[in-house]
Amino acid sequence: MTAHTPLVSKFSQGLFALALLLMVAHFLVYVHYAVGLIRFPFDYDQGEGFELVDTQLFSEGEWPYRNNEVYPYYASNYPPLFHVILVPFVWMFGPEYWYGRLVGFLGTLITAAAIGYIVYREGRHRPLAILSGMAFLASNYVYHIGPLFRQHMTMVLFETLSIAVLARVTEVADQRRRRRLIVLGLGLLLAAGFTKQLALATCIAVFGFLFLRNPRRSVAWGVMFGAVAGVLFLWINVATGGEWWKNIITANVNDYYFNQFTGLLRQWLRLHGVLVIMAGLLALYELYFARLSLYSVWWVLAVVNSTLAGKWGAGDSYFATAIAATCVLAGIFAARTIRGEWFFPAEHPYMQRLSGLRATLARHNSKFIAAAGLVIPALYIVYGLSVIKLPTEGVVFGPLADALGLESSYGDRYAFYDSAGWTEGYATIGHIPTQQDVDNGWRIVDILRASDHPAMSEEAGFSLKAGKDVVTNPTQLKNLYENDLFDPSNLIAAIRAHEFGVIVFRAQFYPPPVVEAVYEAYHPAEVITMNGFNYEIWRPGPPQE
């Protein structure tokens, strides 16, 4: 033990305290955002309302995978589990946004706890376990989508829990306990897949890891897993007359924009770079000097799977699983470094060539550990400063933003600073809706209520609040149309016949022929701004001069 160690130890403790304080600050901002969204009664992010419609349909014993060429021209491309979980809330409270957002938010907290549990189990360092879980919640991407009525973060929850259960399962000597853990872990993995299709990469990671450990057992469990998943898939497909396959699989073959992916990748690395470096070093260590863990296999495939963020309709949320895996690996790397638990076997070919380096590392191990006690928390501080996002108005946040010299990243549109900046595919969300947004939302609802006819709204919330049928799911119709799976003739005929008392546009994400039909048969009568978006109210009749 060197003479300067007590001073270094106190400095290290101070840096850890500062890193934890920074993460707590991020968490408080996240809670503030979640509460603001839970209280907002309308669509905040495009697609939330249709997740709510799916949930309502399941609560009524109906499938949301249906023929969308007949009234109400609606079908879903979301797997069922997230919505099925929420069905009891519909029975108790009716169709509302708050419980889906609450469940999504709580799911991210459980995911963070699972990340912390994994890091503590593998590294036995409590502050780093806490930092790892809170680093997940601090990510700009997780902040964005965590409290939304969307199924994505619930998928990440099931994926992370599955990894936590299965990572050490091959080391369990008791056969009965090992079997129970495998069943539990694969059950969670199945739940992830039936929450969102993107979980396929984690499925590959799990069975790839199991195959490396025990090929015969992996194949046996893989066959059973595939059989259960296949039976469920075929049952839904038969029950929906093939609409499940059409809407879930073939409709998701969207155009790919390479610039969107590369922009998001650069942004992801800029925000999470220090964690990615630590995660990558651990994966490289396992590849060259130890056995690959499930964590490393998961991380590699999750990062590779993030390339799908370049698809039309995708975005930063597609990095969420990679962020969870990165926080796990970075935390384990940090804990091993702090504890000095790196092992480089002398007989390894690389170490035989680097015997002098190995001897140096062994001779100065205590100094390296002391240095790690300073560098590791400093890296988490750098990460915390990289992912700052903050409201720029309010009793608390206004003065704080002024003191930090932070201005809104979106000008007058939102009072919100986001260190991520913007790139194609990055969601322009994160702000707190205002009372004016709520009031304007109800103005749109009143417009729909005033008509005796159904409305065609690009967001479902207005129709739900007005007691009207939810007509169309625009992005899904566009996906299907682009893949030659949707004939818009019936919908176009209904538009030309003025069967809708009002049409509400936000982004005009309908198939082009549908948009053209609206231009011909309706005219823009009013624009109402809500949540930073202009909602165009179109009424029957030719365009007005």
The answer to whether 127 and 292 have CB atoms below 8 angstroms apart is no
396-397-403-406 Cα dihedral, nearest 10 degrees: -170
Judge if the upstream peptide bond of residue 72 is cis by omega within 30 degrees of 0. Answer: yes
**Residue-wise pLDDT tens digits, 120-157:** 999 999 999 999 999 999 999 999 999 999 999 999 99
Question: What does residue 532 show for φ and ψ, rounded to 5 degrees?
Answer: 85, 0
Count of beta carbons in the 10 Å neighbourhood of residue 271: 24
Take residue 465 and report the two structure tokens written for it.
């609040």
Which pLDDT score, from 0 to 100, does residue 343 have?
77
The answer to whether 163 and 301 have CB atoms below 8 angstroms apart is no
Which pTM value belongs to this model? Answer: 0.94
Take residue 498 and report the two structure tokens written for it.
């003025």
Take residue 18 and report the two structure tokens written for it.
């500062």
Distance (Å, rounded) from C-alpha 444 to C-alpha 527?
Answer: 10
The answer to whether 347 and 293 have CB atoms below 8 angstroms apart is no
Take residue 248 and report the two structure tokens written for it.
């879930």
Q: What angle is formed at CA 295 by the lines to CA 290 and CA 297, rounded to 5 degrees? A: 80
Average pLDDT, consecutive stretches of 10 residues, N- to C-terminus, the chain (545 residues): 66 95 98 97 93 97 95 94 98 97 98 98 95 98 96 97 96 93 97 96 96 93 96 97 93 89 97 97 90 96 96 92 98 94 71 63 76 94 97 94 94 93 89 96 97 96 96 94 95 97 95 96 96 95 62
Determine the residue type at 493: A
